Amino acid sequence: EQLELIDQKRFEFCWIVDFPMFEYDEDAKKVDFSHNPFSMPQGEMEALETKDPLDILAYQYDIVCNGIELSSGAIRNHRPEIMYK
């Protein structure tokens, strides 16, 4: 705001998608969920069985306006076999 980089008369919206499902935790030295473990992984079971976990994306999204997160959501994992995996 001090640098007046944002035009206060305009609303600029942006969808943020393709969040990573997993990330490497340097402290614990392991791969763990990056955000929401209850989201559906993109590619579902096939992705879990064939991809590197760090390459799997989640069905999560945010809507942002002028740099402020307005809302977020996800397609929830509704398949027990995927949740168990």
Question: What is residue 72's predicted lDDT score, i.e. its pLDDT?
Answer: 95
Q: Is the pLDDT of residue 1 over 80?
A: no
Name the residue type at position 52: D
| pLDDT attached to residue 7 | 84
Matching residue, tokens 């305009």: 10
List C-alpha distances in Å: 74 to 17, 25, 53.
Answer: 10, 23, 19
Written as one letter, the residue type at 24 is Y
Instruction: Tell me the pLDDT tens digit for each residue of 49-81.
Output: 999 999 999 999 999 998 899 999 999 999 999
Report the candidate in 20, 57, 22, 60 with the shortest Cα–Cα distance to residue 41.
57
Domain ranges, ordered by start, for the chain? 13-84
Q: Which two tokens mark 3?
A: 């640098």
> pLDDT tens for residues 5-58?
778 899 999 999 999 999 999 999 999 999 888 999 999 999 999 999 999 999
**What's 53's DSSP letter?**
G
